[in-house]
Structure 1
Amino acid sequence: MNPFIQQMINHKINSLTKKELITLSHQHQMPINGGQASKVIQIIQSEPIDIGNRSQVERMIQRLQNEVDPHVSKLVNQLLNQYGHLLSQL
């Protein structure tokens, strides 16, 4: 896995805004509302995410499921899996 690419992906995830998250959710036909997006961003920003650390990502997904809602956690998991897929190709 290319550490530079991983660092870029981590930076993008950790600096994601509410507006970007809502746009991404609509692009993937899984729209979320502003309140849900705010909660997701709050959880993501509670600790720096390392996309290469699967246990950390799973812990965050579990928090999203418990604190926001299962639909939202599924969306975020799908988005993160796309990044993980990109990393495994390097």
Structure 2
Amino acid sequence: MKITKEILYKTAHLARLNVDESKQDQMVNDLQKMVDWVDKLKEVDTEGVEPLTGMSFEKDQLREDKIQEHLSNARVFKNAPKHDSTYFRVPKVIK
């Protein structure tokens, strides 16, 4: 695949990037190198190789889901600087 300035601008538009006019030739060259590298992967013989779904064959160890004692509101709010009977009170951050 040949990377052109039109492909560069379309890709930049889709990625919401601004392309500096003075660097467009370098960006086209860099993108072309990336595409060439990916095309080179097509030459690798992958016959009989199982696709990976992850980079590790380890299994997740999950704990049993049991109902346990939970903290009371009094204990939860004990160290809170500001609270009411149900919620933590925090400074307003959105205008």
> TM-score of the superposition, structure 1-length normalised?
0.33
Q: Tell me which protein shows more helix as a share of its residues.
A: 1
The structure having more radius of gyration, on CA atoms, is: 2
